[in-house]
Structure formats: structure tokens, C-alpha cells
Amino acid sequence: MTTSNLASKKVLVTGGAGFLGRQVIAQLQKAGAQLENISIPRSSTCDLRSLSACQDAVAGQDIVIHLAAHVGGIGLNQIKPAELFYDNLMMGTQLIHAAYEKGVEKFVCVGTICAYPKFTPVPFKEEALWDGYPEETNAPYGVAKKALLVQLQAYRQQYGFNGVYLLPVNLYGPEDNFNPQSSHVIPALIRKVYEAQQAGATQLEVWGDGTPTREFLYSEDAARGIIMAMEDYNESDPINLGTNSEVSIRDLVTLICRLMDFKGDVVWLTDKPNGQPRRCLDTAKAKEKFGFTANITLEQGLQNTIDWYRQHPE
């Protein structure tokens, strides 16, 4: 899809007002899309759990990028597993069906690495996606999102519908969700350290024992990968988006404390869940199929995120 070609395309970005969505809009414009041709349905006026809302949203669109999700960290997954399953399944499955019905040219679905089995050999290869059940704490969310991959593959097989499925690793960056009730690990830690500093606290409590490893992809890099796949990837196999490097939660906490100049002690709440033991993606396919590699280092990305949060603590 060339820049001049993209200039005339109408693009729907669900979740386009969100933390990743804003970066995707910016990358779309960089690739040649016109802002007036980009539609962003808002949940207040367009409930994507409703088929009629999905049909209205996709009418007249050439490309759909589905980012919208009801998502959060371990805490939210434990409290609201049913909502996370239902909301994500209904949004995605009806949007895909409506897009097929309305003749959308290309559907880009952003999935989740929560879909991978609990004990997946590291680094996670896309072929291992069906080798077991996801980690229990986020399985309802992961299974709901994984069902959308099956749907896209079935619609390609039966209808020739061009839908692609991407598996981004844990995302972070400026404008992330810093709400302690629903945030993921990096924004949660940044806020905790900031609030400890504001209160003059000498201790920082962190869930788990610090041994799990995670891989983190900066939101701007993720958005760039999504647009590259939109332009150049047209196959049924899912594709990982990540950095291909992992960091332990213990080392992550140490790094954030150093970048934020927090000198207190870290107290590990070992009675709290750790989540999946290790997460790190094999990212060779994204490089091979559409030339994507991550550019922003974890330290640089964290610094950018910390700087943004300090300016927007509310």
C-alpha cells in the first residue's frame, strides 16, 4: 500500500483515542493517510458490543484497525474475568463480521500475548500459540482475543477476507493507563514510586517475588509495526510484535527506581500472584514479513514515560 494510495483510503481505528491508538493515528498520517479520512468511534456513542453499532462504524471504510479492548493488569483480570471475556469477544467478533459484510478491504486485529500457553518455550514462537491453555489469571481475556484469530482465518478461507492478526508484547509509554485499579506493571510501578516520593515513604511494596520476566514494547514502536503490517502483510498466520529481549520484574523495579531517583527499600509481597513465569517473543517473522524491528530501548522508553507522568500526575 503506497503513500499516495493510502491518502485516499478511509480508515477506522477502534480504540483510536487510547494510549496506543493515538500513536497509531500519528503513524497512519506519517504513512500518508489523511486525518479527515480517519474515523475513531468513541465508546460513549458507539458500543462495539452491539452488532448494529459495528455495522454503522465500518460502513464506507476501506481499512479497519481494531485496537479497542477492555484490558488491565492481574488485579482487573481477577476481579472481572467474565466482563473481560464477554466484552472483548463481542467487540471483536461482531466487528470482523460487519467488516466482511460491508466489503472492508483489510482488517488488522491487534491481539494479546496473554493468548499464549502458560508454559510456552521462550522465546515464544507463533507456532506455539495452541500448545496449551493460557496462564489462569488472564485466560478469559486471552482466549477471547485468540478466538478472533480463528475467526479471521475462517473468514479468509471461506470468503477471501483479508484479515491479519498481530500479537504485541506488553506495551508501555506516555499516556498509558496509570489507574492503580487497572494499570499494567510499568505504569503501576511508576505511579507507586512517584507517590512514595511525594509521601516521603522509605519503602515500596511490589506484588510477587520479582522473578518473572517480561518483554516490553514502547507504544510508538508498536504503532509503527501495526502500520507496517497494514501496508505489507496479507497472510493468515499471526505475527509477534516485540523487542526479543526480556527483563525480570526485579530488574525492572531497580531500573525505574534508579531513573526516578528513589532511594527507599523494595518490599516484595510474595503472597501476591506472579503471573506467567516468563514472557519473551521470537520476533523474526515480523522482520522477515514486513521489516519490523523495535527502535526504542527500554531505558529510553521508561525515561520518556516517567517524564510524561511527572507532567501529568493526575
Is residue 203 in a domain?
no
Is residue 288 in a domain?
yes
Q: Which is catalytic among the residues 141, 155, 172, 218?
A: 141
At 183, list the grid cell. 494499570
Is residue 202 in a domain?
no
- DSSP lists the bridge partners of residue 247 as 214
At 10, list the grid cell. 478511509
145 is in an annotated binding site: yes
- Are the C-beta atoms of 108 and 230 separated by less than 8 Å? yes
Look at residue 76 and tell me whether its pLDDT is greater than 90. Answer: no
At 14, list the grid cell. 477502534
184 is in an annotated binding site: yes
Is residue 273 in a domain?
no
Work out the pLDDT band at 1, boundaries 50, 70, 90.
Answer: low
Q: What pLDDT, on a 0 to 100 scale, did the predictor assign at position 3?
A: 54
Calculate mean pLDDT across residues 157-177: 96
Q: What pLDDT, on a 0 to 100 scale, did the predictor assign at position 74?
A: 73
Is residue 117 in a domain?
yes
Q: At 182, is the secondary structure helix, strand, or coil?
A: coil
Domain count, the chain: 1
156 is in an annotated binding site: no
15 is in an annotated binding site: yes
Write down the mean pLDDT value for the chain.
Answer: 94
- Are the C-beta atoms of 197 and 259 separated by less than 8 Å? no
Is residue 69 in a domain?
yes
At 13, list the grid cell. 481505528
Sign of the alpha-carbon dihedral angle for 115, 119, 125, 128: negative
Q: Domain of 76?
A: 8-172+216-245+278-296
The closest alpha carbon to 114, from 103, 99, 124, belongs to 124
pLDDT tens, position by position, 247-269: 999 999 999 999 999 999 999 99
168 is in an annotated binding site: yes
Question: Going by C-beta distance under 8 Å and a sequence separation of 6 or more, which residues neighbour residue 249?
Answer: 185, 206, 208, 210, 211, 212, 213, 214
pLDDT tens, position by position, 12-40: 999 999 999 999 999 999 999 999 999 99
Lowest-confidence range among 54-58, 134-138, 280-284? 134-138
Q: What pLDDT, on a 0 to 100 scale, did the predictor assign at position 8?
A: 96
- DSSP lists the bridge partners of residue 106 as 63
Q: Is 116 a catalytic residue?
A: no
Is residue 66 in a domain?
yes
Burial environment of residue 159 by CB neighbours within 10 A (0 to 12, 13 to 18, 19 or more)? exposed
CATH number where 15 lies:
3.40.50.720
At 103, list the grid cell. 466489503
Is residue 199 in a domain?
no
Burial environment of residue 130 by CB neighbours within 10 A (0 to 12, 13 to 18, 19 or more)? exposed
Question: Going by C-beta distance under 8 Å and a sequence separation of 6 or more, which residues neighbour residue 272?
Answer: 207, 208
- The full DSSP string for 103-138 is T-SEEEEE--GGGSBTTPPSSBPGGGGGSSPBPGGG
222 is in an annotated binding site: no
291 is in an annotated binding site: no
